[in-house]
């Protein structure tokens, strides 16, 4: 196999209570990428369609991740990458993660899978570091593993794939405003009240228990974030209105996707997710804010090869 | 049925990372209690064997819990309670919870079970409030439900019974020193660094995932507490030595039971738990500190009726 075309899924990191530790993989939202072996020993990016992103390998998250993987493997095989970008950078649904994880997934496939999907995570994190300045796994892990991922620890890296109930669907609205990563970080406080931290880890425990037992009510009761959301939501116009509309329409829970500005909701069943998406869109009616809407099941497998 | 004899299990609250939200129920450590219907409309405590505790119903955790339950049920039935105390008060393994939960469990049985075990939790919490001044459920919930319990939330009260892997055993050492509840509280800080809070909820997530998937390695990796243990362990002589000995002997993890002074360890298999208990005892060799040792499986069912 000398060429591969892959689907690189979008992801929702944090998932309310799970700030910095939880992420989930989407099924119907994502980029495509074509990777082919070349005769030289370089990684090139010959084409990026849909977004204005750097073609320079060292400045591109896919390129940097690919180089980190090939360096680790001691491989001198060359590759060319074409990226068909459908996830908007800066939307908060893992645009950079899709490219970073896609590059290492595709190259690993073309090399005969010397590494497992789990083992690819640290190389995709190199791309995340280039994109955001921080070495985080809560998007690349679910993009590579599928379903819900828990990043239990960074030192050492310990990622757990959780059970994902089959009827969960995500509705996402991406208001087309810019939330700078620096601003999303600067609003966070370095310390949190112990009482709120206890509530948060109670909710993390409830959410994970609900995922394993497919208890949608428990998932709903646990989808709260009393620490990050009250701060970051101030950067997203009409956040409370849109979240309220999602819950009113039957969503199990709603919150900020990643560091925003996208707002996600989780629902039981696709019909409800559709209604929830419409309600969320209604939240921006008359605001003058443009937005995209996505509805997707949870992708159990992560990256996939397209025919 | 006019009389019942019950086993009232000891419990381990907090369980390292799960401060204020997790607890587990022991199988071989506990009190016994005899409860019988009487001809009057009062709750009396006619006998407490093994400890010097108040017989005055209003001053006894079992009495207070019984009164709260009967008041809720609108029952004028009278009951007499005998308590055979084997759990030492102040040991940190749920002595007051065993009595509080035992009283409501036994009375509910004698009344034909108008309430479920879960519905009994708030009444047992009245006893906990008398004992410690705070309305907490992380001992009474596992005592009533068995296995591992998660207290996801207090407002409203939301307790989840988690899956418990069959090969988990607890080793507990109770150094006979007094740790005053006020001291155990006063060492806590009102706020915690966000970074440590994230690590803690990552570990709560890992532990709960490990319980559901019976992944003992993951349970082991997750049994850490970077927030409370570093502060409270200073009140327990030789804590680090004893914990270190437990881990060296093969324990999956070790920490403070409740607010101490007992130290618990969890192991895979009874043989390992036995070795771990011996190693923990070795930690107090030559210290002049007297101690009790307990080894127990996890009790999947909680309170039980004895023949």
> What pLDDT, on a 0 to 100 scale, did the predictor assign at position A181?
75
Rounded to whole angstroms, the Cα distance separating B80 from B73 reads 17
Domain end position, chosen among A162, A180, A207 = A162
Query: A24 and A172 share a domain?
Result: no
**Is the Cβ–Cβ distance between B124 and B65 less than 8 Å?**
yes
Residue in this structure with the two tokens 């020193």, named with its chain if needed: B177
Query: B109 and B227 share a domain?
Result: no
Rounded to whole angstroms, the Cα distance separating A7 from A87 reads 12
The yes-or-no verdict on residue A228 having pLDDT over 90 is: yes
User: In angstroms, what CA-CA distances link A9 with A15, A279, B113, B238?
Assistant: 16, 24, 52, 51
> What pLDDT, on a 0 to 100 scale, did the predictor assign at position B134?
85
| The pair of three-digit structure tokens given for residue B60, joined into one six-digit string | 């006894």
Read off the pLDDT band of A303 (50, 70, 90): very high
The most distant pair of C-alpha atoms in chain A lies apart, rounded to whole Å, by 59
Q: Within a domain: residue A307?
A: no
Rounded to whole angstroms, the Cα distance separating B240 from B229 reads 10
Rounded to whole angstroms, the Cα distance separating A214 from B62 reads 36
> What pLDDT, on a 0 to 100 scale, did the predictor assign at position B185?
85
Rounded to whole angstroms, the Cα distance separating B200 from B17 reads 6
CB pairs under 8 A between A and B: 126
| The pair of three-digit structure tokens given for residue A107, joined into one six-digit string | 């190259």
Query: A153 and A20 share a domain?
Result: yes
Query: Residues of chain B whose pLDDT is less than 50?
Result: none
B155: Cβ contacts below 8 Å, ≥ 6 apart: none
Percent with pLDDT over 70 in chain A: 100
Rounded to whole angstroms, the Cα distance separating B42 from B57 reads 9
CB-based contact A209 B150, cutoff 8 Å? yes
Question: Of the candidates B192, B195, B199, which has its C-beta nearest A153's C-beta?
Answer: B199
> What pLDDT, on a 0 to 100 scale, did the predictor assign at position A251?
98
Query: A241 and A287 share a domain?
Result: yes
Rounded to whole angstroms, the Cα distance separating A96 from A102 reads 10
B49: Cβ contacts below 8 Å, ≥ 6 apart: B82, B83, B84, B85
Rounded to whole angstroms, the Cα distance separating A71 from B249 reads 40
Question: Of the candidates B151, B163, B205, which has its C-beta nearest A204's C-beta?
Answer: B205
| The pair of three-digit structure tokens given for residue B119, joined into one six-digit string | 């519905």
CB-based contact A200 B201, cutoff 8 Å? yes
Rounded to whole angstroms, the Cα distance separating A288 from B193 reads 39
Rounded to whole angstroms, the Cα distance separating B87 from B105 reads 18
Range of the domain at A246: 168-297
> What pLDDT, on a 0 to 100 scale, did the predictor assign at position A34?
98
Helix, coil or strand: residue B305: strand
A219: preceding bond cis by omega (within 30 degrees): no
Alpha helices by DSSP H, listed for A93-193, are 95-110, 117-132, 140-145, 181-186
Query: B105 and B68 share a domain?
Result: yes
> What pLDDT, on a 0 to 100 scale, did the predictor assign at position B117?
97
Domain end position, chosen among A129, A162, A195 = A162
Q: Within a domain: residue A70?
A: yes
Residue in this structure with the two tokens 């309305």, named with its chain if needed: B135
B281: Cβ contacts below 8 Å, ≥ 6 apart: B173, B291, B293
Query: A154 and A11 share a domain?
Result: yes
What is the nearest CA distance from A68 to chain B, expressed in angstroms?
27
Rounded to whole angstroms, the Cα distance separating A254 from A240 reads 10
Query: B153 and B183 share a domain?
Result: no
CB-based contact B191 A191, cutoff 8 Å? yes
For A61, what's the count of Cα atoms within 13 Å in the CB-facing half-sphere? 26
Edge-to-edge strands of the sheet including A253-256? A253-256, A263-268, A168-175, A291-297
Question: Which CATH number covers residue B202?
Answer: 3.30.70.890
> What pLDDT, on a 0 to 100 scale, did the predictor assign at position B184?
84
> Could you list the active site residues of A?
128, 181
Read off the pLDDT band of A183 (50, 70, 90): confident
Residue in this structure with the two tokens 């093994």, named with its chain if needed: B50
Q: What is the DSSP letter of B164?
A: -
> Going by DSSP bridges, is the β-strand pair B3-13/B304-306 parallel, antiparallel, or unpaired?
antiparallel
Rounded to whole angstroms, the Cα distance separating B301 from B25 reads 8
CB-based contact B204 A199, cutoff 8 Å? no
Query: B239 and B272 share a domain?
Result: yes
Interface test with B, best of A16, A138, A152 (most B CBs within 10 A): A152
Query: A103 and A198 share a domain?
Result: no
Alpha helices by DSSP H, listed for B151-193, are 181-186
Other CB atoms within 10 A of residue A103 CB: 33
CB-based contact A21 B190, cutoff 8 Å? no
Question: Of the candidates A21, A194, A227, which has its C-beta nearest B190's C-beta?
Answer: A194
B197 contacts on A by Cβ (under 8 Å): 192, 197, 200-201, 227
Burial class (CB within 10 angstroms; exposed 0-12, middle 13-18, buried 19+) of A83 = buried
B222 contacts on A by Cβ (under 8 Å): 152
Rounded to whole angstroms, the Cα distance separating B144 from B113 reads 13
For B168, what's the count of Cα atoms within 13 Å in the CB-facing half-sphere? 31
Rounded to whole angstroms, the Cα distance separating A226 from A189 reads 13
The catalytic position among B38, B181, B270, B278 is B181
Rounded to whole angstroms, the Cα distance separating B298 from B252 reads 14
> What pLDDT, on a 0 to 100 scale, did the predictor assign at position A185?
85
Number of domains within chain A: 2
Domain end position, chosen among A162, A194, A209 = A162
> What pLDDT, on a 0 to 100 scale, did the predictor assign at position A184?
84
CB-based contact A192 B197, cutoff 8 Å? yes
Q: Within a domain: residue A49?
A: yes
> What pLDDT, on a 0 to 100 scale, did the predictor assign at position B180?
81
DSSP secondary structure of B50-67: SS-----GGGSHHHHHHH
pLDDT digits (tens, 9 = 90+) for A102-152: 999 999 999 999 999 999 999 999 999 999 888 899 999 999 999 999 999
Question: Which CATH number covers residue A145?
Answer: 3.30.230.10
User: In angstroms, what CA-CA distances link B60 with A212, A306, B10, B29, B81?
Assistant: 40, 69, 17, 21, 11
Q: Within a domain: residue A305?
A: no
Query: A44 and A142 share a domain?
Result: yes
Query: A68 and A206 share a domain?
Result: no
Rounded to whole angstroms, the Cα distance separating A294 from B37 reads 63
B181 is catalytic: yes
Q: Within a domain: residue A42?
A: yes
Rounded to whole angstroms, the Cα distance separating B189 from B229 reads 12
Mean pLDDT for all residues in chain A: 96
Taken as a whole, chain B contains a residue count of 307
> What pLDDT, on a 0 to 100 scale, did the predictor assign at position A307?
81
Query: B152 and B244 share a domain?
Result: no
> What pLDDT, on a 0 to 100 scale, did the predictor assign at position B277?
98
Residues of chain A in Cβ contact (below 8 Å) with chain B: 17-22, 150-153, 158, 160, 162-163, 188-195, 197-206, 208-209, 212-213, 218, 221-222, 227
3-state secondary structure B242-291: HHHHHHHCCCCEEEECCCCCCEEEEEECHHHHHHHHHHHHHHCCCCCCCE
Helix, coil or strand: residue A91: coil
Taken as a whole, chain A contains a residue count of 307
């Amino acid at each position: 196999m000398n060429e591969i075309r892959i689907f690189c899924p979008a992801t929702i990191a944090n998932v309310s209570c799970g700030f910095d530790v939880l992420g989930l993989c989407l099924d119907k939202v994502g980029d495509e990428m074509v990777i082919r072996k070349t005769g030289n020993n370089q990684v090139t990016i010959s084409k990026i369609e849909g977004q204005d992103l750097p073609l320079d390998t060292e400045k591109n998250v896919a390129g940097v991740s690919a180089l980190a993987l090939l360096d680790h493997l001691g491989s001198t095989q060359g590759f060319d990458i074409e990226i068909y970008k459908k996830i908007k950078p800066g939307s908060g649904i893992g645009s950079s993660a899709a490219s970073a994880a896609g590059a290492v997934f595709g190259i690993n496939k073309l090399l005969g899978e010397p590494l497992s999907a789990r083992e690819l995570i640290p190389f995709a994190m190199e791309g995340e570091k280039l994109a955001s300045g921080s070495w985080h796994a809560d998007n690349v892990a679910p993009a590579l593993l599928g379903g819900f991922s828990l990043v239990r620890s960074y030192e050492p890296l310990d990622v757990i794939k959780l059970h994902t109930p089959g009827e969960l669907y995500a509705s996402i609205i991406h208001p087309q405003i810019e939330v700078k990563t620096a601003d999303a970080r600067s609003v966070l406080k370095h310390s949190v009240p112990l009482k709120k931290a206890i509530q948060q880890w109670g909710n993390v425990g409830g959410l994970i228990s609900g995922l394993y037992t497919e208890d949608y009510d428990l998932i709903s009761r646990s989808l709260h974030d009393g620490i990050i959301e009250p701060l970051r939501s101030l950067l997203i116009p009409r956040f409370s209105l849109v979240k309220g509309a999602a819950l009113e329409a039957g969503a199990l829970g709603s919150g900020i996707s990643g560091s925003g500005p996208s707002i996600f909701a989780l629902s039981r069943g696709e019909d409800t997710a559709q209604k929830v998406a419409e309600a969320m869109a209604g939240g921006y009616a008359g605001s003058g804010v443009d937005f995209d809407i996505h509805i997707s099941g949870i992708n159990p497998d992560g990256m996939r090869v397209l025919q």
